[in-house]
Copies of this chain bind each other. A is one copy, B any other.
């Protein structure tokens, strides 16, 4: 993990440790088990989710150990000697199958499958959820922005409104989703992503007047001069001063790169500013906009109002994944010692899918995403003709003769990470490639068409039999 916090053992919920101690003393520590990570709802009332965070998860998994001071802390919390000795030597030694980072995923299908002994599978739950839920949320948000911004670049400006150190993972996920750069310098260094930024109102205020502030900035940063024009009065001061400085720069063979609008009606001001710049012969000077932006505002600006904005800086809403603020991903036991396991629930949508599984993406004849099918690992996809709705088994759909791609790949084998690291922009390229195959009706913001995810008849049978036996056991009590 990039942070120098290099023992991650305590980055977990207390109950993972109480359960682990329980498994230890119940002689269950060699029990082999399978857990699935999945989410139940696409964020932002959208039609898909961008899976992100895998690489950060794998880094923490590799460093998921307990330092001497961690052990001392747990001792002070009443954990017992033999168990603490076990923890002091702990390393994850299981297998992880995962969707590729940047993959388009849908509710209720396994995104990640963890196999190992029950203690190791249990202990990693909290940080797995913490990282994958959050990065997937932000990558999805950023990709929604990307869909409306299209070829206009946008930058993550969110550090100041981010949820503390969550800023780090968020800036990475924003680039996976499509941001071209971040203002967060530490994230830039840690994750090798481009950083950018120019000046704040305080720069302007620190000079006698706005024109002096603009001149000084252009002198110090001649190759990358972006002028913030709204400190006093955008139309009567900011833009005229920027034009003056641009003309002075031209005399020195330089070019003003852009002006930035950070308040007021961005459609109105961008049109005014564009006109003034063009009339001064400064067609090449770009207009950057910031201030409370999100995918809906940007769509309105670009599509409904034809605002001549060339680039965006996006803060609060992208870095915090507003309005959702969290993806509802969960991590559930699906098998122990070869026996399928599931959770019933008072809430029908919280019932889980038992067994070891693989997810297949079924493509239509033009190669577009058509259905996802969840099969038991030992099923042969070419033999599965029909899939069922996971809640209403009578609703079935044929997947006969469709091309099927497995989505889960081994990323950790016996505790060793077996996939190469990819930079966030490369992961974004993969996302772009995949998103191009997702039909538009799943991408729209309002009432997106629900992408169908079904389960094999065999999986349905396993679930029904298990449900029946749990119910009988309860009645027999």
Residue from the set A135, A159, A236, A471 with the largest chain B CB neighbour count within 10 Å: A159
A430 at the interface (CB under 8 A from B): no
* Inter-chain contact B159/A134, CB cutoff 8 Å: no
Determine whether A275 belongs to the interface, using a CB cutoff of 8 Å to chain B.
Answer: no
Q: How far is the CA of A332 from the CA of B73 in the complex (A)?
A: 41
Cβ-defined contact, A202 with B332, below 8 A = yes
Assess A263 versus B345: contact at CB under 8 Å? Given A12-B159, A168-B165, A320-B163: yes
Question: Hey, what's the 0/1 contact readout for A10-27 against B, CB within 8 Å counting as 1?
Answer: 111111111101110110
A326 within 8 A of B: yes
Q: Specify how many copies of this chain sit in the oligomer.
A: 2
In the complex, per-residue mask of A140-172: 1 if CB is within 8 Å of any chain B CB, else 0:
000000000000000001011111111111100
Asked whether A474 is an interface residue with its Cβ less than 8 Å from the other chain, the reply is yes
Cross-chain contact A15 with B166 (CB below 8 angstroms): no
Determine the chain B residues whose CB is within 8 A of the CB of A129 once the complex forms.
159-161
CB neighbours (8 Å) of A344 from chain B are: 231-233
Q: Are the C-beta atoms of A164 and B161 separated by less than 8 Å?
A: no
Check A206–B237 contact: CB distance below 8 A: no
A209 → B minimal CB distance (Å): 6
Q: A232-B470, A237-B474 are in contact. Are A343 and B201 (CB under 8 A)?
A: yes
From A326, which residue of chain B is reached at the shortest CB distance? B161
**B205 lies within 8 A of A341 (CB):** yes
Of A191-199, A431-439, A457-465, the segment with at least 4 beta carbons within 8 Å of chain B is: A191-199
**For chain A residues 93-152, which have a beta carbon within 8 Å of chain B?**
118, 122, 125-127, 129-131, 133-135
* A185, closest chain B residue (CB): B10
Residues of B within 8 A of A297 (CB): none
The residue on B at minimum CB distance from A212 is: B26
Distance between A101 CB and nearest chain B CB, rounded to angstroms: 15
Nearest B residue to A182 by beta-carbon distance?
Answer: B14
Pairs A-B, 9 closest by C-beta atoms: A264-B346, A166-B166, A15-B197, A163-B166, A14-B197, A165-B165, A129-B160, A164-B169, A163-B163
Q: A14-B184, A21-B221, A233-B471 are in contact. List 19 more A-B contacts (CB 8 A).
A: A5-B5, A16-B200, A18-B221, A19-B203, A22-B199, A26-B216, A73-B189, A125-B160, A127-B159, A129-B159, A133-B161, A161-B326, A163-B166, A163-B170, A164-B165, A231-B344, A232-B343, A263-B350, A320-B325
